[in-house]
A and B are shown apart, each in its own frame.
Chain A
Amino acid sequence: DAKTTQPPSMDCAEGRAANLPCNHSTISGNEYVYWYRQIHSQGPQYIIHGLKNNETNEMASLIITEDRKSSTLILPHATLRDTAVYYCIVRRPQGGSEKLVFGKGTKLTVNP
């Protein structure tokens, strides 16, 4: 599975959009981009995933560049409860290693 690079930390004001970047320059054609977050020491929570097209759900939007080498997770109106560590992962739907590498992610702090 391709390696990802994320900034270690970011801050965002409550009510503003939080834009979390992720680089995955070695991504393969059949690898999906996944975003998870972990609040305190809870189990990681699935947010969104995509392959080529931009995606949106009730939690967030995922913008993937045309060359697929980077993506941005957008939380449109961040709240204090969105303070968490956000992980970007690329992964094939089938086959490949089962070692889901979360890395250290981005620690997002939403400030009042």
Chain B
Amino acid sequence: NAGVTQTPKFRILKIGQSMTLQCAQDMNHNYMYWYRQDPGMGLKLIYYSVGAGITDKGEVPNGYNVSRSTTEDFPLRLELAAPSQTSVYFCASSYRGQNSGNTIYFGEGSWLTVV
């Protein structure tokens, strides 16, 4: 298994540009997540999905959009990039089932700079 794969790894955007961060997992996990991590800070949840066709907001959803058309893929869209969105973005996935724990597996991160 490749686990959780994120692309691109690095990207520089100009203010107002749009882009999509791609995320794919091959573990047949039902839950997928997008987090951002600012320097020296913990992870903050942007959006998550409990299955194909179902998404929900996390702590910091403003400025982002997601979709989940398949179990494997969970892209994150930035419509109008702002300097405040400069961060490291982590995609993650897990299998959530009753009494089975909830181990979350993370991708390697996507470094985004908005200038």
Contact in complex: A46, B104 (CB < 8 Å): yes
Which of A44, A45, A93 is the one whose CB lies under 8 Å from B98? A93
Contact in complex: B102, A32 (CB < 8 Å): yes
In the complex where A98-B48, A99-B58, A101-B42 touch, is A46 in contact with B98 (Cβ < 8 A)?
Answer: no
Q: Told that A43-B4, A44-B90, A93-B99 touch, could you supply 17 new A-B pairs with CB distance under 8 A? A: A41-B37, A41-B109, A43-B90, A43-B92, A49-B101, A92-B102, A93-B98, A93-B101, A94-B97, A94-B98, A94-B99, A94-B102, A98-B33, A98-B45, A98-B58, A99-B45, A102-B43
A85 to B71, CA, bound (A): 31
Q: How large is the interface on B (under 10, 10 to 19, 20 to 34, 35 or more residues)?
A: 20 to 34
Q: Which residues of B contact A98 (CB under 8 A)?
A: 31, 33, 45, 48, 56, 58
Q: How far is the CB of B72 from chain A (nearest CB, A)?
A: 18
Q: Which residues of A contact B101 (CB under 8 A)?
A: 32, 49, 51, 93
**1/0 per residue B26-48: CB within 8 Å of A?**
00000101010100001101001
Interface residue B106 (Cβ < 8 Å from any Cβ of A): yes
Interface secondary structure of A, over-half rule: loop
A97 to B4, CA, bound (A): 22
In the complex where A34-B103, A43-B108, A46-B104 touch, is A100 in contact with B98 (Cβ < 8 A)?
Answer: no
Q: Which residues of A contact B33 (CB under 8 A)?
A: 98, 100
Contact in complex: B97, A93 (CB < 8 Å): yes
State the B residues within 8 Å of A (CB). 4, 31, 33, 35, 37, 42-43, 45, 48, 56, 58-59, 88, 90, 92, 96-109, 111
Q: Which residues of A contact B48 (CB under 8 A)?
A: 98
Q: Which residues of B contact A32 (CB under 8 A)?
A: 101-102
Q: How far is the CB of A94 from chain B (nearest CB, A)?
A: 5
Which of A30, A92, A94, A102 is the one whose CB lies under 8 Å from B42? A102
Contact in complex: A103, B42 (CB < 8 Å): yes
- A30 to B, closest residue via Cβ: B99
Contact in complex: A93, B100 (CB < 8 Å): yes
Q: How far is the CB of B66 from chain A (nearest CB, A)?
A: 13
